[in-house]
Amino acid sequence: MKHVHTVQTSKTLLLTTLILASASAKATQAESSFYGSLRLGADYVDSGTADDAVNGRDYLSRVGVKASIQLAENITGIGKVEYGLRGDDGVNFNQNQKAGMRQIYVGLKGDFGTVTYGSQTIIWHQYVRSAYFSDALDSLRQGAIRDDDMLQWQKTYHNWKFGAAIQTEQQDGDSIDQYQLAAQYQAHGLKLQAALAADQQGENTGNLYGVRAWYDISDSLTVSAFYHLAEDDFDIYKGNSSGNVRLVSAKESGKVGGVTSCTDEERSTAGLYGKWRQGDNQVHARYAVNACEVKGDVSSIKVEYIRYFSKKFRLWASFEQLDNDTTRLPSTGENMSELQLGARFDF
């Protein structure tokens, strides 16, 4: 009987060991998910020239893979790869053209917060700027959305959220090209945000500042105000406002007006934003002014209506008017407007 009991005990221990080993193996397997967002439509740009026309558009469609793996009790390894589907012209789908990299990073997540390294959305953009509209483009903004070789850290603590980043890019003799700091406080429908991007590249070492405030008036209505200021020697993004890709391209061609690029000038962006959502219908609008110290101002009014057929599928229509201040620099060109119609399918 003793021998039988010993054998049964051994079998039980062996079975338990196999179960624990199997559970441990499953726990260390990486979990991944594929996702995508198709954003297609058309626009009509009135630029005051004979080239005005209806154009097919891709509005920043993308596909990607997210992955995570449990490394320890409170530590998770994370990674992401994302490609944009636009062609080389930056606007349309082109057959047989390669997709462009948007994000690729790896990182760790735990009680210390989240640390990531690679090509990713910058801290400054995450805290004081956001893609308000369905095309994911905002015609008036400072700096870039994503950048390469960024080491970022974010941590949430009660009502606070903090972020920091450094960038080491290019063989230019600078160990750090820029660093960024950001903070957010949120409570009782109020959200306050501030961010700093400090240029450390080359001889010019200016700063880019940003503040933004949000307030939920009700469950249906949200308002926001923001202010961004780039010093004249903040040139890591060459003064590019990174605005609406079609309007900026038109401006850079010298044919029409649009968002002014204020390289080597102090430049600011100030605006008001409001969003109303009721059921499957949403209307939101923004008024903003992009001010250049020498070249003058560009003001923008943009209104968009969205119809949600589900959480994953929606249609939108938007209109934007851009007005140039020609009193200081008549060569800024004609005023412009753009009408968009599009569909978005997230999966």
Report how far apart, in Å, the C-alpha atoms of 211 and of each of 180, 207, 243, 297 are: 14, 13, 19, 20
pLDDT interval class at 50 (50, 70, 90) = low
Nearest to 288 by CA among 230, 332, 339, 226: 226
| Mean pLDDT of the region 123-138 | 87
Q: Does domain 38-59+108-346 have CATH number 2.40.160.10?
A: yes
Average pLDDT value for residue range 309-329: 86
| Average pLDDT of span 62-82 | 96
What are the angstrom distances between the C-alpha of 100 and each of 6, 74, 93, 293? 64, 34, 11, 35
Q: Which of 61, 204, 62, 178 lies closest to 125, judged by CA?
A: 178
Are residues 344 and 311 in contact, defined by beta-carbon separation less than 8 angstroms?
Answer: no
What letter represents residue 227's amino acid? Answer: Y
User: Within 13 Å, how many C-alpha atoms sit on residue 119's CB side?
Assistant: 9
The least confident of 10-24, 41-55, 71-85, 260-274 is: 10-24
User: Lowest mean pLDDT: which of 90-99, 124-133, 278-287?
Assistant: 90-99
- The pLDDT tens digits for 132-141 are 899 877 767 6
What pLDDT digit, counting tens, does each position of 109-119 carry? Answer: 999 999 999 99
Question: CA Rg, the chain, in Å?
Answer: 25
What rounded mean pLDDT belongs to the chain? 82
Which tokens is 170 given?
């290019």
CA distance 218 to 184: 21
Range in 74-78, 183-187, 191-195, 199-203 the model is least confident about: 199-203
Domain map of the chain by residue range? Answer: 38-59+108-346
Strand partners, 161: 156, 184
% the chain with pLDDT above 90: 55
Q: What number is the average pLDDT over the span 335-347?
A: 93
